[in-house]
Amino acid sequence: MEQKNNNYDVVIVGAGPAGCSSAHELLRNNKKVLILDKTEFPRHKPCAGGITMKTLKHLPIDINHLVQHKAQDMIFTFSPTKKIKLNHHKGSCVMVIRDKFDEYFFNETIKLGATFNKINKINSIKSIKNKVMIDVDGKIYVCDYLIGADGANSIVRKLSSNFEYKNPVFAYEGLVEKKDTNYSTEFIFNKHGYAWVFPKDGHYNVGIGNLVSTSKSKNVTKKDLRSFVSDKFGSTKISNITAFPIGTEGDNYRVQNNIFLVGDAAGLAESLLGEGIYNAVLSGKYAGSSINESYNNSVSAKLNYNEFLSHLTNELKLYRKGAKILYGFPMISYWMMKLGLGKKFMNGYSEGKTLSEIMGKKSIFAN
Ligand SMILES: Cc1cc2nc3c(=O)[nH]c(=O)nc-3n(C[C@H](O)[C@H](O)[C@H](O)COP(=O)(O)OP(=O)(O)OC[C@H]3O[C@@H](n4cnc5c(N)ncnc54)[C@H](O)[C@@H]3O)c2cc1C
């Protein structure tokens, strides 16, 4: 049964970067927004906390005070003797502590006027005529639009669509004490897929993942992370190890009704280096602006968002092609990067370009 005080323009499930980005867009247009999350903030999210320059262009908040390092020097390691060192004064990305970033983004979102409820369980989601009804812990919320921003294991996706991940990719991360203050940001390509060392103030965030997953691939394990750290640093000392899937299978995702998935819930992380915060922020922003447009100009939010998704998923397919070359033919990739592609990427990332812009196409997503 409808309860008046449980009526919202938009309900957003998940207060990570995708959810907060959607909320910002909607709240700035005076929409009545409810955010539901299963955790309070601050909370831990397994993530290396690398935020690319193109993400900063779309982030609705200033995060300068959270930046602990700029990736001005980068190393791509293909084997002990095959390394590519690159540099750009702007840096290809900034390093933050992910938990702090999410907490700040969340608090700034609440300041704009969102209502927040910590919840336990979403029991059901029904789309009836132009409304969505959500049963949360036995309470019914009614809204015009529901946004599923609840990450790779999205319950909104599972309860409201047949869209499922076939071969979810998985990544582990942990912290290693920082001894060398000049350590570069490093990606290492190995038998598991990729690994990274991201410098922060007092530690390195290290991790491993397998981004080209098939039904036959083996997920990486904690043991693999320990052995990577032991090879790299000559010590198995690593703390705070956590792991999580990355949503990368949204190449064909489109909205069917007034339930919109964004970020990892929609499978919008890229499969080359596992970057997901950019597409979480971008998709959240466009889901929000598509919904705003539908209130302001009676245009279809679904069509607008699907138009955006068609561009974004083309971009994801480009990353997937790149991943097939990088992980399938690492030595060819090494030589391609060494002979100029590496520099082109480093410059493009540092200037805040998308992959298709680096490949010479025009910018599609307005800042
Ligand atoms: C180990 C690792 C390292 C990574 N490193 C990077 C990196 O350096 N840079 C980068 O760009 N990307 C990185 N990624 C990917 C990135 O973390 C994700 O793409 C990004 O967090 C997606 O944002 P999101 O807002 O869609 O989802 P999330 O950040 O996962 O947020 C989802 C929110 O929904 C909430 N939620 C989940 N389930 C429910 C539920 N049932 N009910 C209510 N609330 C719920 C969660 O509590 C959470 O707050 C990494 C991923 C992993 C696993």
- Would you state the CATH architecture of domain 69-96+168-246? 2-Layer Sandwich (3.30)
pLDDT digits (tens, 9 = 90+) for 171-224: 999 999 998 878 899 999 988 889 999 999 999 999 999 887 676 778 899 999
d(CA 206, CA 230): 12
276 Cβ below 6 A of ligand 1: yes
Mind listing the pLDDT tens digit for each residue in 301-315? 999 999 999 999 999
Residue 13 scores a pLDDT above 70: yes
98: nearest Cα among 5, 16, 6: 16
pLDDT band at 4 (very low <50, low <70, confident <90, very high): low
pLDDT one-digit tens code per residue, 224-274: 999 999 999 998 899 999 999 999 999 999 999 999 999 999 999 999 999
Q: What is the mean pLDDT of residues 10-39?
A: 98
Q: Of 227, 221, 195, 206, give the one whose Cα is nearest residue 77.
A: 195
Q: Which of 103, 122, 125, 246 to mutate to test the pocket of ligand 1 (most atoms within 8 A of CB)?
A: 246
Distance CA 319, CA 85 (A): 22
DSSP-based three-state secondary structure for 224 = helix
pLDDT attached to residue 56:
98
The pLDDT of residue 217 is 75
Residue 58 has pLDDT above 60, yes or no: yes
* H or E segment and range at residue 346: helix 342-350
**Cβ(151) – ligand 1 distance below 6 Å:** yes
Q: Is the CB of 270 under 6 A from ligand 1?
A: no
Ligand 1, closest atom to CA 207? 1
Domain spans in the chain, listed from the N-terminal domain onward = 4-62+97-166+248-329, 69-96+168-246
Any idea which architecture 4-62+97-166+248-329 has in CATH? Answer: 3-Layer(bba) Sandwich (3.50)
The reply to whether domains 4-62+97-166+248-329 and 69-96+168-246 share a CATH topology is no
For ligand 1, atom 29, the nearest C-alpha belongs to 16
Please tell me the distance between residue 153's alpha carbon and the centre of ligand 1 in angstroms: 9
